[in-house]
Amino acid sequence: KNEVEQSPQNLTAQEGEFITINCSYSVGISALHWLQQHPGGGIVSLFMLSSGKKKHGRLIATINIQEKHSSLHITASHPRDSAVYICAVDNNDMRFGAGTRLTVKP
Amino acid sequence: EPEVTQTPSHQVTQMGQEVILRCVPISNHLYFYWYRQILGQKVEFLVSFYNNEISEKSEIFDDQFSVERPDGSNFTLKIRSTKLEDSAMYFCASSLDRTEAFFGQGTRLTVV
């Protein structure tokens, strides 16, 4: 069983739509990270969460420690948001989800 | 803006050869990491490094692999006797305080 499960695996949206990507994990963690992997392969850290909610521009990340669940939301999605979004949990090492491939169509 | 730099961006090597992947972390960062991503698969943790020694390593990081911070700026990953299955994108990351991690652009290793 994967320790970090993401859903959906693939997501296609129209420009302007509100996007939600979910992450569930089964291990104890000190923090959860949301990462963005661009089509060229580069990885950018979006958020690090240990509780509550964080917002950066059109991106919002929430975490519920008791339920071992986190969500990444994108408001007013844009084609440039198209990327793979990866959830990773920090438990001395980092365990990664398989990623959610988001395609935003104009 | 400070960034993590990895070289080379692409390395092709013959099976059985040794390769060294190089990373220059952000200068005041204290924690350093190597990850790999086999094509089409998820990112996997290899090793973390702090205070000049390995702090954590995964099952993947066996005797074939080693890491070094030879001169206070570079952070290298050495893979001895490369195998076809070592072909992957290798990412270096650094962190000041184990909170936010900054990733390099990756080195694509192709073993032929």
Q: Tell whether the model's pLDDT for residue B13 goes beyond 70.
A: yes
| Mean per-residue pLDDT, B64-80 | 93
Of all residues in chain B, the percent with pLDDT exceeding 90 is 87
Between chains, do A43 and B103 touch, taking CB under 8 Å as contact?
Answer: yes
Residues on chain B touching A41 (C-beta within 8 angstroms): 37, 89, 105-106, 108
DSSP code string of A5-66: EEE-SEEEEETT--EEEEEEE-S--SEEEEEEE-TTS-EEEEEEESSEEEEETTEEEEEETT
Q: Give the residue from B111, B112, B107, B110 showing the smallest Cα distance to B34.
A: B107
Taking the C-alpha atoms of residue A54 and residue A45, their distance in angstroms, rounded to an integer, is: 13
Tens-digit pLDDT profile for residues B41-62? 999 999 999 988 999 999 999 9
> Is B45 at the interface with chain A, CB within 8 A?
yes
